[in-house]
Chain A
Amino acid sequence: MSAETALLSTLFLPLVGMVLIWLTGKSPNLREAVTLTTSVILFAIVLSLLSDVLDGARPSVDLMEVMPGLSLSFEIEPLGMLFACIASGLWIVNSLYSIGYMRGNDEKKQTRFYMCFTVAISSAMGIAFAGNMFTLFVFYEVLTLSTYPLVAHKETEEAKQGARTYLGILIGTSIGLQLAAIIWTWIAAGTLDFTAGGILSGKVDPVLLPFLLALYMFGIGKAALMPFHRWLPSAMVAPTPVSALLHAVAVVKAGVFTVLKVVVYIFGIDFLAASGAANWLIWVAGFTLITASLVALSKDNLKARLAYSTVSQLAYIVLGAALANHYAILGGALHIATHALGKITLFMCAGAIYVATHKTEISDMQGLGRKMPFTFAAFCVGAFSIIGLPPLAGTWSKWYLVLGAAETGMLIVVAIYMISSLLNIAYLMPIVAKGFFRPAPELATASAGAAVAPSKSGIQEAPLLCVLPPCLTALGCFVLFFYADAVIALLRPIVE
């Protein structure tokens, strides 16, 4: 298979999977087999492309011309390759997890759920491999629309309300701000192709440049820059596999990926740094970073806390992009990978806890670590990685981000990163600590009569398919620490 065919098949394969899922909807086992097979094949294809890209190849396909001069075109470059690897790789793990979670919770309309998932993955691939801003925008919108039914999945009044916020903010920012920015770029530069070194140098009045950047940064609502972050906590009404893969990996990472793409290939790092147009963004991203951490601290609902933590972690990457130097961009790109692994672990653990005990509030989780040791161990590893402790993957991205901040000489940015790491500890560690070290309330009041009698070993884990995936990703956090230089080798061309 040539690289071009492989590229297109990453887009179409999930859609083929969608049709098969629809056809096999009556038989759940067959349907889940389709999902798993599709995800494995997709990952294999993406990996086959990876070796080409590492060799310096840049496969590209011009699919069709939509409007004169504007075509749907795809080109693989390192940043997109990284994003595609993460999204497709974690899809396999998450598919396993979905099966455990959806069956464990006896959720309705699972066929629709899996179908929407494949469309979302297909559009994530489209975003990763988009060759110009127009193509990226198209898939960005498809991703929003295909995840709407997933957020509204439970069809309760709360789910509808959350989905409304989700759609309203994402569509509102993308059509309201991002589209205007894209058309502005198109009129100014005459092209929307992602080009090394950017396309805007000398094309836009320097006075207006910060405004164009603002249209992009706030227009990319998926990056959850305050004040357009509300959709992310709202999306937490979705079933946890959705929160795990989409709202910790595919959707939010699509947002920050787009931010990096715009900074690297539309503005150009050097041009942006020289123009100073991103100076305001440092403050907005820094504010989001700290504020979201503080809000996370105040949330007792586990998924809400994780959601605000995501908002904060996304701001790390946007801040890296705003610093616009080689270390910071590298750190931001790396953080896409490391945070994805860490956060998906945390979400899957949250889901496993819900499946096993139907608990959503952190204050109810005292002593749960003894009953669910694997889940809580995985959670602990994920949390350490997010905090940035060695030997876990999160260390490296934070390292490069701080290095980038130091390079610009803005000590306050270094301080922001550091304070936020402390806040990470403050809002993540109590969950682990309560789980392991506090006595469980049931044991204290045994006479109340627990609904489920504890088994002999005292272990009451969620189904295997709910527990195994987070353990795998936790292991991934560990492995990535030692292979981070491979990822850096992949990414280095984008900053050179």
Chain B
Amino acid sequence: MIAAEHLPVLQVVGPLLAAPICSVLRIRNLAWFFTLIVSVGAFLCSLLLLQTVMESGPISYELGGWMAPLGIEYRVDASNGIVLLIISGISSVVLPFAKRSFEAEVPEKLHSLLYTAYILCLTGLLGITATADAFNVFVFLEISSLSTYVLVAAGSSIDRRALTAAYNYLILGTIGATFFVIGIGLLYMATGSLNMADIAVRLGTIAEIRTVDVAFAFIVVGLALKLALFPLHTWLPNAYTHAPSAVTAFLAATATKAAVYLMLRFSFTVFGTGSGLLAPMAGTVGIPLALAGMFAGSIAAIYQYNLKRMLAYSSVAQIGYMVLGFGLLSVTGVMATTLHLFNHALMKGALFMALGCVFVRIRSVHIADLSGIGRQMPWTMAAFVIGGLSLIGVPMTVGFISKWYLISAALEQEAWWLVALIVASSLLAVIYIWRVIEAAYLKAPPPGRAVAEAPLSMLIPTWVLVGANIYFGVDADFTVSVARAAAEGLVGVMQ
């Protein structure tokens, strides 16, 4: 048995080694089962890791035994522990769902390769999150991005627009990654180090500040593209709309979350006080763009007929909330961001999975085709309603917890206008969610459409996430305490 101290690397290396194996498993059910095992393994690792971190503080792991500034360090604390948990957890819930969903949406011969891409994507996201080495982040960022392009393109057998969506994402994602790596290069030039903690220490001692500022700007812009901050979000709606349902559920709940985490990590841990740009940028660029995203995303969502696209625009708005919390640069603000990382993953995962269930049965997620579906697929639509209520922020759901802390953070700084804008934009969610509820419950189904409830293998995972939406909304002790530890760890550097 491998000792627990290897956990930080194990959960990244495991999937990485599993990916090539998966590619040769030509029996699709075997490939699926293998992927599931890998994902659940990673999930258990991340659970153990988070538990250890919360009990005894951050864990540092030196790859190959090479000492930190030279060798690659993996470092898990509360802030990335929770992100690891989100990524591996959502992946493990989505996979049982993915089997039927892929069977319905992707040609059979592609399945084992699709699962391979899925494992690679999982590897990349976990790697981005776990590593404490700036260049290593870039490597994993590329692994996850490249595999994501493949996953999105897999939707092309349903709708060939998936190809252009993937291509678009490829171009923009590559630009983002390039900005990011240029920033890392500049940082290396200024400090001579790639280890995050080491960079932070060295930044405090150097006088040459312009290179650092430019590095900061490049990294932030690169990441803003990855996390789909308005107005760099244009790749997201198409990619989420045309990807297979299971892929969308997985990506919407994880990919942007990892990028938001990186933004927090670089802003606070790496640059922290080292670059004077953080505070002015957060105030003059971060918050206004977050607000613009909140409104533009929500308003765009109201006018969508394709529900996957509607939820995709809603994601743009929700990312605005996360960046807003971060932009306040306070412990409560970062807590709100961390909480919303977790909570939004639960709600968007549940919502996209509910749409996946609908798609399997009626081959459409267009709002006009959903008339009366609430009676024909009661469990699926009930899941959608609860996910939607969570998105609106109704009490007893996770959305409420996020909103509570975000408003608290704004009120703490007596930013009344921010409070007003936060509640106004969250009310826009009522409009776009309620359109769906009205269509599904208050319209008669088209004559002759007789559809059954979605298969249990899809419903159960969906309801697991719905249950999590309620559970963590009723008992938020765990998420709040982790978020507090994470925020104090990150923002503590600033004080």
Among A64, A138, A180, residue most surrounded by chain B Cβ atoms (within 10 Å) = A180
Measured between beta carbons, the chain B residues less than 8 angstroms from A152 are 442
Measured between beta carbons, the chain B residues less than 8 angstroms from A187 are 408, 411-412
Chain A interface size, as a band, is: 20 to 34
With A160-B442, A171-B427: A180-B407 Cβ-Cβ less than 8 Å: yes
Of chain A, the residue at the smallest CB distance from B396 is A138
Among A137, A172, A176, residue most surrounded by chain B Cβ atoms (within 10 Å) = A176
| Residues A175 and B426 in contact, CB atoms below 8 Å apart | yes
| Residues B434 and A180 in contact, CB atoms below 8 Å apart | no
Of chain A, the residue at the smallest CB distance from B395 is A138
- In this assembly, does A227 line the interface, its C-beta being within 8 Å of a C-beta of chain B? no
Q: In the bound complex, how far is the Cα of B179 from the Cα of A202, in angstroms?
A: 52
- In this assembly, does B394 line the interface, its C-beta being within 8 Å of a C-beta of chain A? yes
With A64-B474, A183-B404, A187-B412: A160-B426 Cβ-Cβ less than 8 Å: no
With A137-B395, A138-B396, A180-B407: A67-B477 Cβ-Cβ less than 8 Å: yes
Measured between beta carbons, the chain A residues less than 8 angstroms from B480 are 67-68
Q: In the bound complex, how far is the Cα of B407 from the Cα of A177, in angstroms?
A: 12
Q: In the bound complex, how far is the Cα of B432 from the Cα of A168, in angstroms?
A: 12
Distance (whole angstroms) from the CB of A19 to the closest CB of chain B: 15
- In this assembly, does B423 line the interface, its C-beta being within 8 Å of a C-beta of chain A? yes
Of chain B, the residue at the smallest CB distance from A63 is B474
Hey, what's the 0/1 contact readout for B369-410 against A, CB within 8 Å counting as 1?
000000000000000000001001111100001011001100
**Which residues between 118 and 161 of chain A lie within 8 Å of chain B, taking CB atoms?**
137-138, 141-142, 145, 149, 152, 155, 160
| Residues A186 and B424 in contact, CB atoms below 8 Å apart | no
| Residues A66 and B389 in contact, CB atoms below 8 Å apart | no
Q: In the bound complex, how far is the Cα of B427 from the Cα of A175, in angstroms?
A: 8
Q: In the bound complex, how far is the Cα of B61 from the Cα of A192, in angstroms?
A: 44
Hey, what's the 0/1 contact readout for A187-201 against B, CB within 8 Å counting as 1?
100000000000000
- In this assembly, does B475 line the interface, its C-beta being within 8 Å of a C-beta of chain A? yes
- In this assembly, does A184 line the interface, its C-beta being within 8 Å of a C-beta of chain B? yes
Distance (whole angstroms) from the CB of A136 to the closest CB of chain B: 10
| Residues B423 and A179 in contact, CB atoms below 8 Å apart | yes
- In this assembly, does A359 line the interface, its C-beta being within 8 Å of a C-beta of chain B? no
Measured between beta carbons, the chain B residues less than 8 angstroms from A58 are none
Among A149, A155, A179, A184, residue most surrounded by chain B Cβ atoms (within 10 Å) = A179
- In this assembly, does B438 line the interface, its C-beta being within 8 Å of a C-beta of chain A? yes
Hey, what's the 0/1 contact readout for A204-248 against B, CB within 8 Å counting as 1?
000000000000000000000000000000000000000000000
- In this assembly, does B430 line the interface, its C-beta being within 8 Å of a C-beta of chain A? yes
Distance (whole angstroms) from the CB of A198 to the closest CB of chain B: 20
- In this assembly, does A167 line the interface, its C-beta being within 8 Å of a C-beta of chain B? yes
- In this assembly, does B214 line the interface, its C-beta being within 8 Å of a C-beta of chain A? no
Of chain A, the residue at the smallest CB distance from B426 is A175
| Residues B430 and A66 in contact, CB atoms below 8 Å apart | no
With A167-B430, A176-B427, A179-B423: A66-B408 Cβ-Cβ less than 8 Å: no
Q: In the bound complex, how far is the Cα of B475 from the Cα of A172, in angstroms?
A: 25
Distance (whole angstroms) from the CB of B394 to the closest CB of chain A: 6
| Residues B442 and A155 in contact, CB atoms below 8 Å apart | yes
| Residues B427 and A172 in contact, CB atoms below 8 Å apart | yes
Measured between beta carbons, the chain B residues less than 8 angstroms from A145 are 389, 394
| Residues B396 and A65 in contact, CB atoms below 8 Å apart | no
Among A68, A160, A183, residue most surrounded by chain B Cβ atoms (within 10 Å) = A183
Distance (whole angstroms) from the CB of B220 to the closest CB of chain A: 30
- In this assembly, does B158 line the interface, its C-beta being within 8 Å of a C-beta of chain A? no
| Residues B476 and A66 in contact, CB atoms below 8 Å apart | yes
Q: In the bound complex, how far is the Cα of B387 from the Cα of A488, in angstroms?
A: 45
Q: Is the interface of B mostly helix, strand, loop or mixed?
A: helix
- In this assembly, does B481 line the interface, its C-beta being within 8 Å of a C-beta of chain A? yes
- In this assembly, does A164 line the interface, its C-beta being within 8 Å of a C-beta of chain B? yes
Distance (whole angstroms) from the CB of B382 to the closest CB of chain A: 13
Task: Name B407's contact: one of A64, A167, A183 (CB within 8 Å).
Answer: A183
Distance (whole angstroms) from the CB of A148 to the closest CB of chain B: 9
**Which residues between 54 and 77 of chain A lie within 8 Å of chain B, taking CB atoms?**
64-68, 72
| Residues B423 and A176 in contact, CB atoms below 8 Å apart | yes
Hey, what's the 0/1 contact readout for A313-336 against B, CB within 8 Å counting as 1?
000000000000000000000000
Measured between beta carbons, the chain A residues less than 8 angstroms from B403 are 179
Task: Name B475's contact: one of A64, A142, A149 (CB within 8 Å).
Answer: A64
Of chain B, the residue at the smallest CB distance from A140 is B395
- In this assembly, does B419 line the interface, its C-beta being within 8 Å of a C-beta of chain A? yes
Q: Tell me how many residue pairs across A and B have CB atoms closer than 8 Å.
A: 69
Q: In the bound complex, how far is the Cα of B411 from the Cα of A65, in angstroms?
A: 23
Measured between beta carbons, the chain A residues less than 8 angstroms from B392 are 171, 175
| Residues B434 and A167 in contact, CB atoms below 8 Å apart | yes
**Which residues between 407 and 425 of chain B lie within 8 Å of chain A, taking CB atoms?**
407-408, 411-412, 419-420, 423-424
Measured between beta carbons, the chain A residues less than 8 angstroms from B412 are 187
**Which residues between 6 and 36 of chain A lie within 8 Å of chain B, taking CB atoms?**
none
Measured between beta carbons, the chain B residues less than 8 angstroms from A67 are 401, 404, 476-477, 480
Measured between beta carbons, the chain B residues less than 8 angstroms from A180 are 407, 411, 419-420, 423
Task: Name A171's contact: one of B404, B411, B430 (CB within 8 Å).
Answer: B430
With A145-B394, A179-B403: A168-B442 Cβ-Cβ less than 8 Å: no
Of chain A, the residue at the smallest CB distance from B444 is A155
Q: In the bound complex, how far is the Cα of B434 from the Cα of A160, in angstroms?
A: 11
Q: In the bound complex, how far is the Cα of B393 from the Cα of A137, in angstroms?
A: 12
Distance (whole angstroms) from the CB of A286 to the closest CB of chain B: 27
Measured between beta carbons, the chain A residues less than 8 angstroms from B389 are 145
Q: In the bound complex, how far is the Cα of B258 from the Cα of A101, in angstroms?
A: 56
Measured between beta carbons, the chain A residues less than 8 angstroms from B408 are 183, 186-187
Distance (whole angstroms) from the CB of B203 to the closest CB of chain A: 34
Q: In the bound complex, how far is the Cα of B440 from the Cα of A149, in angstroms?
A: 13
Q: In the bound complex, how far is the Cα of B401 from the Cα of A183, in angstroms?
A: 12
| Residues A66 and B393 in contact, CB atoms below 8 Å apart | no
Measured between beta carbons, the chain A residues less than 8 angstroms from B475 are 64-66
Q: In the bound complex, how far is the Cα of B411 from the Cα of A67, in angstroms?
A: 18
With A167-B434, A187-B411: A68-B477 Cβ-Cβ less than 8 Å: yes
Measured between beta carbons, the chain B residues less than 8 angstroms from A155 are 442
Distance (whole angstroms) from the CB of B432 to the closest CB of chain A: 13
Measured between beta carbons, the chain A residues less than 8 angstroms from B476 are 66-67
| Residues A66 and B474 in contact, CB atoms below 8 Å apart | yes
Q: In the bound complex, how far is the Cα of B476 from the Cα of A444, in angstroms?
A: 70
Q: In the bound complex, how far is the Cα of B362 from the Cα of A446, in angstroms?
A: 57
Task: Name A183's contact: one of B411, B420, B481 (CB within 8 Å).
Answer: B411
Distance (whole angstroms) from the CB of A165 to the closest CB of chain B: 12
Of chain B, the residue at the smallest CB distance from A149 is B441
Q: In the bound complex, how far is the Cα of B406 from the Cα of A179, in angstroms?
A: 12
Hey, what's the 0/1 contact readout for B469-495 against A, CB within 8 Å counting as 1?
000011111001100000000000000
Q: In the bound complex, how far is the Cα of B394 from the Cα of A137, in angstroms?
A: 10
| Residues B423 and A175 in contact, CB atoms below 8 Å apart | yes
Measured between beta carbons, the chain B residues less than 8 angstroms from A179 are 403-404, 407, 423
Task: Name A141's contact: one of B395, B401, B407, B424 (CB within 8 Å).
Answer: B395
Of chain B, the residue at the smallest CB distance from A157 is B442
Q: In the bound complex, how far is the Cα of B393 from the Cα of A65, in angstroms?
A: 18
Q: In the bound complex, how far is the Cα of B400 from the Cα of A175, in angstroms?
A: 10
Measured between beta carbons, the chain B residues less than 8 angstroms from A137 are 395
Q: A66-B475, A172-B427, A179-B423 are in contact. List 19 more A-B contacts (CB 8 A).
A: A64-B474, A65-B477, A67-B404, A138-B395, A141-B394, A141-B395, A145-B394, A167-B430, A171-B430, A175-B427, A180-B407, A180-B411, A180-B420, A180-B423, A183-B404, A183-B407, A184-B411, A186-B408, A187-B411
Listed by A's residue number, 8 A-B pairs whose Cβ atoms lie within 8 Å are: A64-B474, A66-B475, A67-B476, A138-B395, A176-B423, A180-B411, A180-B420, A184-B411
A residues with CB within 8 A of B: 64-68, 72, 137-138, 141-142, 145, 149, 152, 155, 160, 164, 167-168, 171-172, 175-177, 179-180, 183-184, 186-187
B residues with CB within 8 A of A: 389, 392-396, 401, 403-404, 407-408, 411-412, 419-420, 423-424, 426-427, 430, 434, 438, 441-442, 473-477, 480-481
Which 10 A-B pairs rank lowest in CB-CB distance, beginning with the nearest?
Answer: A138-B395, A176-B423, A183-B407, A67-B476, A155-B442, A141-B395, A180-B419, A187-B411, A172-B427, A141-B394
